[in-house]
Structure 1
């Protein structure tokens, strides 16, 4: 049975990244009616930052060359490490069980929200492979950061996530779908780009449902 892990990271309850991730999840679940589904709202229910005890777990896994994710619990030796493990284990289990990981996230200050970074830090261990899974990122950006645009070089959202998923998790199937120019709805200086924003939004909605 297939499983979908769905994460949202936008601080806004009504956001374009949430709109896209919801459309994707709804379409995916309709196509897989018997599939498992887990949802996490990383903004409404923030993941705590890693602690020193978490780093000790990480050090143990690395020093003992543990590559089997199911064995990470062997690193627990102290009460503080037990607390850290209790926090991260449910999140780790969700990722391991997923066939598709769906992440709805805006771009904040050229990168990802701290809520998403905290989740990534919690579930990531050295030499950890999630090969065979698919990652889908539905994003929203205030400006235009696509190929050939003046701001393409400062897109540290897609570039970071793509490099991370492929370079660290060995995930080859990574898809990004963005709604761009969302700030045109608020910023008078780029209000003339609202038609381009709406075109981007509709194209993104068509892509996630496809």
Structure 2
């Protein structure tokens, strides 16, 4: 049965990254009416930051060469580690059981929100291959960071995500749908770029919906 894990990371309840992600999710659900759909709002229901007990779990996993997710509970030694595992286990289960992962995220300070980074930190236990799964990332960025843009070199968001997926999950094929120049809606200094933003926004909504229709 097809399955989609949908993550939202924006601190705004009404956000463009959420809207573009919803376009993908809506089309996907129409294509797979009997599919499994899990949505996690990382801003409304934040994932805790990792603590020392989490690092101890990782140490045990490495020390004993545990690579199978089903064996991870064997790493638990103390009550604090058990509490850490209670946080990790449902996050890992959602991720592993999904064959499509949708991440809707804004760009904050040239990268990803802390809410999304906290989720990444939790699910990197253990390092594992998710090759074969489909990853789609919908973003909203205040400025323009595409090829040739003056701020292209400041785009640590896409660079980080691509490196993370490749380095931790052995996933090289990630599709990004970016809505740019969002700040032109509010910043008088960018008002002359509003038409370009509208074009980018409309194109992102269409691209995301079309990707969702592909399954």
Q: Same fold (TM over 0.5)?
A: yes
Does 1:21 find its partner at 2:21? yes
Residue in structure 2 matched with residue 40 of structure 1 by the alignment:
40
Cα displacement string for residues 30-89 of structure 1 (whole angstroms, at most 9, x for unaligned residues) = 011111010100000100000100001111111222221221111011100000001111
Q: Distance in 2 between matches of 1:41 and 1:124?
A: 19
More displaced, 195-204 or 60-69?
60-69
- Residues 21-170 of structure 1 correspond to what in structure 2 (within 5 A)? 21-170=21-170
Query: TM-score, normalization: structure 1?
Result: 0.98
Does 1:203 find its partner at 2:203? yes
3-state secondary structure, aligned to 1:66: coil
Larger relative contact order (Cα-Cα within 8 Å, sequence gap ≥ 6): 2
How many correspondences in the alignment? 210
Cα displacement string for residues 118-140 of structure 1 (whole angstroms, at most 9, x for unaligned residues) = 00001112432112111110000
Contact 2:105 2:112 in 1 (8 A): yes
3-state secondary structure, aligned to 1:157: helix
Q: Distance in 1 between matches of 2:123 and 2:92?
A: 5
Q: Distance in 2 between matches of 1:39 and 1:184?
A: 30
Query: TM-score, normalization: structure 2?
Result: 0.96
Cα displacement string for residues 149-189 of structure 1 (whole angstroms, at most 9, x for unaligned residues) = 11111101000001110121001321110100000011000
Residue in structure 2 matched with residue 192 of structure 1 by the alignment:
192
Q: Distance in 1 between matches of 2:70 and 2:170?
A: 18
Q: Distance in 1 between matches of 2:97 and 2:55?
A: 24
Contact 2:162 2:172 in 1 (8 A): no
What runs of 5+ residues in structure 1 fail to find an aligned partner? none
Q: Distance in 2 between matches of 1:125 and 1:85?
A: 10
Aligned-pair CA distance for 1:23: 0.7
Which 4+ residue blocks in structure 1 deviate beyond 2 angstroms? none
What runs of 5+ residues in structure 2 fail to find an aligned partner? 211-215
The alignment's C-alpha RMSD in Å is 0.8
